[in-house]
Chains A and B, each alone.
Chain A
Amino acid sequence: MNQVSYAISRLFRFYYDGFRSMSWWGRRVWVIILIKLFVIFLIMKLFFFQGFLSERYSTDEQKSEYVLDQLINSK
């Protein structure tokens, strides 16, 4: 148990020290990463990209039926 907590603590310190001593460019790109992830996952995914089939149909059977209709009702 002690060995496990020692390893976790070392791992934590590794990342903690790494982030603390990060250079100017490192801090800057992390800000960009966080803004980007916010825009992609919280704005775009939530408001614009919810998934066409998932939004309309709750079961795989309904989705299959819809796509099958799409495939066979062409000219």
Chain B
Amino acid sequence: MFESIDFTLIDWSRAQFALTAIYHWLFVPLTLGLSFIIAIMESLYVKTGNEEWKRITRFWMTLFGINFAIGVATGIILEFEFGTNWSNYSWFVGDIFGAPLAIEGILAFFLESTFVAVMFFGWNKVSKKFHLISTWLVAIGANLSALWILVANAWMQNPVGMVFNPDTARNEMVSFWDVLFNEVAVSKFLHTISSGFLLASMFVLGISAWYLLQNREHILAKRSILIAGIFGLLSSLLVAYTGDNSARTLSEAQPVKFAAFEALYEGKQNAGLVAIGILKRSDLKIGEKEVNDFAFRIEIPGFLSVMTKGDKNAFVPGIYDLVNGDASKGILSVTEKIERGKKARDLLIEFKAAKKNNDTQKAEGISGMFRDKKFIDNYFRYFGYAFLEKPEDVIPGVKTSFYSFHIMVMLGFYFILVFVMALYFLYSGTLLKKRWFLWIALWSILLPYVAGELGWVLAEMGRQPWIIQDLMPVSAAVSNISSGSVMTTFALFAILFTVLLIAEISIMIRQIKLGPKH
């Protein structure tokens, strides 16, 4: 079956999903963060009764509304793609993916749709307090919507809380709480929403800086910079903290990805974290895959060991260790995992034959084995390895993982610096004179978008070849459809999203130029 699927189809299906996810993520983070900034500003209005705060709130609410409206429903396309381009995957994940997405849909519809209307239509029609509660509920609702999407994504990175039912060929949820509190989900949710807060803060800071450069809207700009500076600084510190947590959970759940984003080939104790590095080709290979070496690097000694296990003497496995295995460290080789995966698959073949021969007893016995913890831990958890041809297939793009991770982290530190400087210049009363900083703040609006997209590139490309970690590679997930139809819809999406993005930017620029009075 899989022999008939050409890699053009897989590549185009992946490219299409990447395109829609990347575009979708251009709209989402601003909604996540700006909703809270608006809620904070409106709280100050309600508390102080100062009309200036109301004017400021309404101005940022306008930009929030434009972004919200343009971005809404762009995520639906991803769900279409699951059903059409990734049907094997969609069926295999069963209700585990469906349940969080259904909750997200209900939450998004009822919480956001209802209270967004009050936010925009309710000024002077409902009480100040009710309006404020609505604004906070929109912020909380938007972020809770993100929670469910991220829970679903985290399950793909670290599948837990389910058993596979060979009778239906689906995974079935056995513990909702295991899925919800999956450690990857918790760190992913906190890291992602805090990056959204950071992005929105930089957006507010940058546009406020533009007003100061234009020598207009001083009160709005300074007050907005105060809120964005504090919220942004706290968010960027939270991003750093949750990023550290994320790395720790990844080192357990996705060790090859973790080794790839540090370009760590040989595992070691007292492993250093690469602060800055440039990769080059080496003459070495793992199977058919080339090995990268460092042309240059600055390393923080022992920090990688501390980051993963809290102990500088802890061993951090490298790509060689994870591919070849190391019995002394309890690491199975990929060859062994392939064998175990094949045993699980062979059992599935036996199950099918038993059903065909109406051998109910045997079929039920095999079905029971797929619910047995010992079998799951030793065999079924490596099910996806049965699809691999070579051990080195488990290695993702090391260069892509390494650079996306390191550029993202460097940008993270840059954001902390920008927010500290903004608050310092504001506090010292020198902000208006620091035109160079105002220009930096303005152009920095783009950088959190870059960092956020790099984060997703790392998360999704760094876990290749898996669509579900260790259980299903992308090659087994894709539908056997014509690559021509995927190419056509790729082009349609590219046009649709580009038009939406141009529309958003042009309407926003118009409103920003008009300013808060309008």
Closest to B496 in A: A39
Residues of B within 8 A of A54 (CB): 83
Which one, B85, B91, B122, B479, contacts A64 given CB within 8 A? B91
Are B3 and A25 in contact, CB atoms less than 8 angstroms apart?
A: no
Judge whether B169 is part of the interface by a CB distance below 8 angstroms: yes
A15-B121, A36-B496, A60-B168 as given contacts; A44 in contact with B511, CB under 8 Å: no
Residues of A within 8 A of B488 (CB): 48
Residues of A within 8 A of B389 (CB): 75
Judge whether B505 is part of the interface by a CB distance below 8 angstroms: no
Judge whether A72 is part of the interface by a CB distance below 8 angstroms: yes
Judge whether A1 is part of the interface by a CB distance below 8 angstroms: no
Complex-state Cα separation, A30 to B69, whole angstroms: 8
Closest to B503 in A: A32
Contact indicator per residue, chain B 477-503, by CB within 8 Å of chain A (1) or not (0): 001110001001100100010001001
Instruction: Give residues 21-53 of A contacting B (CB, 8 Å).
Output: 23, 25-26, 28-30, 32-33, 36-37, 39-40, 44-45, 48-53
Grouping DSSP codes into helix (H, G, I), strand (E, B) and loop, the B interface class, with mixed when no group exceeds half, is helix
Complex-state Cα separation, A49 to B433, whole angstroms: 55
Are A75 and B2 in contact, CB atoms less than 8 angstroms apart?
A: yes
Complex-state Cα separation, A49 to B83, whole angstroms: 8
Residues of B within 8 A of A26 (CB): 65, 120
Are A74 and B1 in contact, CB atoms less than 8 angstroms apart?
A: yes
Total number of A residues with any Cβ neighbor in B under 8 Å? 39
Complex-state Cα separation, A33 to B334, whole angstroms: 49
Which one, A23, A39, A53, A72, contacts B87 given CB within 8 A? A53
Are B88 and A67 in contact, CB atoms less than 8 angstroms apart?
A: yes
Instruction: Give residues 57-74 of A contacting B (CB, 8 Å).
Output: 60, 63-65, 67-74
Complex-state Cα separation, A25 to B518, whole angstroms: 10
Are A44 and B345 in contact, CB atoms less than 8 angstroms apart?
A: no
Are A25 and B80 in contact, CB atoms less than 8 angstroms apart?
A: no
Complex-state Cα separation, A63 to B59, whole angstroms: 51
Q: Which of A17, A29, A37, A65: most chain B CB closer than 10 A?
A: A29
Complex-state Cα separation, A66 to B440, whole angstroms: 56
Closest to B118 in A: A14
A67-B92, A72-B345 as given contacts; A14 in contact with B125, CB under 8 Å: yes
Chain B nearest CB, measured from A69 CB (Å) = 7
Complex-state Cα separation, A54 to B479, whole angstroms: 12
Complex-state Cα separation, A52 to B77, whole angstroms: 15
Complex-state Cα separation, A59 to B51, whole angstroms: 61
Complex-state Cα separation, A41 to B168, whole angstroms: 29
Are A40 and B345 in contact, CB atoms less than 8 angstroms apart?
A: no
Chain B nearest CB, measured from A21 CB (Å) = 8
Residues of B within 8 A of A29 (CB): 65-66, 69-70, 507
Closest to A32 in B: B503
Complex-state Cα separation, A39 to B493, whole angstroms: 10
Judge whether B476 is part of the interface by a CB distance below 8 angstroms: yes
Are B125 and A67 in contact, CB atoms less than 8 angstroms apart?
A: no
Complex-state Cα separation, A75 to B390, whole angstroms: 12
Complex-state Cα separation, A60 to B91, whole angstroms: 10
Instruction: Give residues 65-80 of B contacting A (CB, 8 Å).
Output: 65-66, 69-70, 72-74, 76-77, 80
Are B387 and A74 in contact, CB atoms less than 8 angstroms apart?
A: yes
Complex-state Cα separation, A65 to B77, whole angstroms: 27
Residues of B within 8 A of A64 (CB): 91, 167-170
Please, could you name 16 A-B residue pairs with CB atoms under 8 Å apart, sorted by A? A17-B121, A23-B62, A25-B65, A29-B70, A29-B507, A30-B69, A32-B69, A33-B72, A40-B73, A49-B84, A52-B84, A53-B83, A67-B87, A69-B352, A75-B387, A75-B389
Binding site for B on A (CB under 8 A): 14-15, 17-19, 23, 25-26, 28-30, 32-33, 36-37, 39-40, 44-45, 48-54, 60, 63-65, 67-75
Return the 4 tightest CB-CB contacts between A and B, nearest first: A18-B121, A52-B87, A49-B80, A29-B69
Besides A15-B117, A32-B69, 16 other A-B contacts (C-beta < 8 A): A14-B117, A17-B121, A17-B125, A25-B66, A29-B69, A33-B73, A48-B84, A50-B84, A52-B87, A53-B83, A53-B90, A68-B166, A72-B352, A73-B1, A73-B2, A74-B387
